[in-house]
Amino acid sequence: MNLHHLHYFRKIAELENMTRASEVLHVAQPALSKTIRILEDELNVKLFDRKGKHIILNQNGHILLKYTNKIMNAIEDAKTEIKDFNRYQNNAVTMAIEAGSKLLPTILQKIKRSYPTIKLTINQHINNNHSKVNADLIIYSTKDKESRTNVITLLEEEILLAVPIDHPFASRGSVRLEELASESFISLQNGKGLREITNYYCKIAGFKPDIILDSDDPTTVRGLISAGLGVAFLPAITWRGNMDSNHIKLLSISNIDCKRYINISWKEEAYRSNASKLICNYIIDFFKKL
């Protein structure tokens, strides 16, 4: 068993298609088949179940794949750490931003001023897990406080209700959540952390919000509220900047403790570059000042 064997095995396991793996790896199919036979002979187990022309990774294969991924990731970490140690590493940090995007321009401006040699790549509109898995740092929100060792809570934030200034609730300071059951909501798109959190609180109150418009941009959501098109849940701190108080009224929710936690995380059990640590600590300090 060697690294080439594991590299080939991982790709075959991911694709479960020998022909496609041959095309992706640019390795002849008989050579890949031989690699699998060598691994199976060495481990004395079958790694794939064969059904006609198809192969399916079995439980033995899943176990080997789990450790293969750890080995390959450890090798990549070793390469990165060696580069860092010898100061040849490109000071590049990739961030996935799922929460607090309103603060992003200010954060990036301050980081650039403090660390001009660090190259930042920002992924903001994330449609799958690929960007998160490959990011050095992730900023995201949850309804409960995280306790993992690779996560730090940046902010505990109340969630308010934003209504148009001429809405019947606008004369009040607070509402009970169940009073909103018949309201038309403007919301971020499905899959966004804030929407999932507020959907959870509405479920506790006994209703599913009637979402008539959704958007992937907080500024657009605020504009739609100002136009009188509906109401929306709005984080008290990170979304409050540039709020049009002449057209929007913010109300607290009195009967349920509606809040979210904004967190920053990094890859667990993976090497962290000096640049990544610097940026992470800077963001933590930034949120402390909020």
> What pTM does this model have?
0.67
189-224 per-position pLDDT tens digit: 776 788 899 999 999 999 999 999 888 777 788 888
- The residue with greater pLDDT, 125 or 49, is 49
Q: Over range 7-19, report the average pLDDT.
A: 91
At 146, phi and psi to the nearest 5? -80, 150
189-198 per-position pLDDT tens digit: 776 788 899 9
Annotate 7-63 with DSSP letters as a single string: HHHHHHHHHT-HHHHHHHHT--HHHHHHHHHHHHHHHTS-SEEEETTEEEE-HHHHH
CB atoms within 10 A of CB 82: 12
The yes-or-no verdict on residue 9 having pLDDT over 90 is: yes
Contact 161, 205 (CB under 8 A): no
In this prediction, residue 247 carries a pLDDT of 85
In this prediction, residue 132 carries a pLDDT of 58
Which residue, among 199, 203, 174, has the nearest Cα to 188 in the 3D structure? 199
Q: Does residue 253 sit in helix, strand or coil?
A: strand
Q: Over range 159-168, report the average pLDDT.
A: 92
The yes-or-no verdict on residue 269 having pLDDT over 90 is: no
79-89 per-position pLDDT tens digit: 887 877 665 45
In 161-241, which residue ranges form alpha helices assigned H by DSSP?
Answer: 193-204, 218-226
Q: Over range 124-131, report the average pLDDT.
A: 54
C-alpha 23/C-alpha 49 separation (Å) is 21
The yes-or-no verdict on residue 167 having pLDDT over 80 is: yes
In the chain, which residue ranges form alpha helices assigned H by DSSP?
Answer: 3-15, 18-25, 29-43, 59-85, 104-114, 130-133, 193-204, 218-226, 274-289
Enumerate domains of the chain plus CATH numbers. Answer: 3-85 (1.10.10.10), 92-152+261-289 (3.40.190.10), 156-259 (3.40.190.10)
What is the average pLDDT score of the chain?
A: 87
Q: Which residues contact 175 (CB under 8 A, 6 or more apart)?
A: 161, 169, 251, 252, 253, 254
In this prediction, residue 217 carries a pLDDT of 74
